[in-house]
Structure 1
Amino acid sequence: MSAIAGTLSITIDGTNYAVAGSGTYLVSSTNRETLKGQDGVHGYKEMPNEGHIAWTGRDSNAFKIADLNAADGVTVVAVLANGKVIIAKNAWRDGEPAKVNTEDGTFDILFSSASVKEQ
């Protein structure tokens, strides 16, 4: 039986980053919202939705957190234990800037993109 979960590796523009904790991903897709009126359900609207790759990383002297926080137009690749490869092209660091917990050297970071796909 093959592994279906457990390991994660992350690269950004070909550079490996240590993964200290769990990661998540969302492939690019659409959001759907039901449209209804006083006379019933009319249907739904559909809007594009960005995808993301996020993880808890480990700080080191091999890179600067400021560079991660400023990242824009990068390619983020996540390789999962089950063999899936998740690719975010032309991604940007999204949300709050990464802040490092100095007790264990961890930080949370999120990269979003209009193009996040599974391979």
Structure 2
Amino acid sequence: MSNNRVGGVIELKVDSTIYRAKGNFTYNLGRGKRDAVLGADGIHGYKEVPQACFIEGEITDHREMSLDALLDLTDATAYMRLANGKAIVLRGAWYASEGTGNTEEGNIGFRLEGMSAEEIA
């Protein structure tokens, strides 16, 4: 039987800490972004600019989670397993969000940026 699941449940782990992922997460492998170079006579080619690799979404706060530890996070390895079976690994990562929490549903903005990222099938 094949697994046709393409979205939904994810697992989020940073170093040895498992975070409660909430809702929609986005990620970027940090590859160069290509933009057209335009002249008055048409397209001349493209330029490539770097992008930061990241994992971003929201997590649910709970009693055992330390917001202080999250805010201080540097040089971490993050692992996000996707519902389709792939994984995103972010290395040399740091917490790059404000650390603002919401009391209605206990959510905290979560963004890690890092030095490198890879997709593992």
Settle same-fold status: TM greater than 0.5. yes
CA distance in 2 between partners of 1:82 and 1:39 (Å): 45
Unaligned runs of 5+ in 2: none
Please tell me whether residue 62 in structure 1 is matched to residue 64 in structure 2: yes
Aligned to 1:36, which of 35, 38, 51? 38
Secondary structure at the residue paired with 2:98? coil
State percent identity of aligned pairs.
30
Partner of 2:75: 73
Scaled by the length of structure 2, what TM-score is found?
0.88
Partner of 1:114: 115
Contact 1:23 1:56 in 2 (8 A): yes
SS, match of residue 102 in structure 2: coil
Q: Which runs of 5+ in 1 are unaligned?
A: none
What corresponds to 1:24 in structure 2? 26
TM-score (norm 1): 0.89
Q: Secondary structure of 1:29's partner?
A: coil
Question: Deviating runs (4+, > 4 A) in structure 1?
Answer: none
How many pairs were matched up? 118
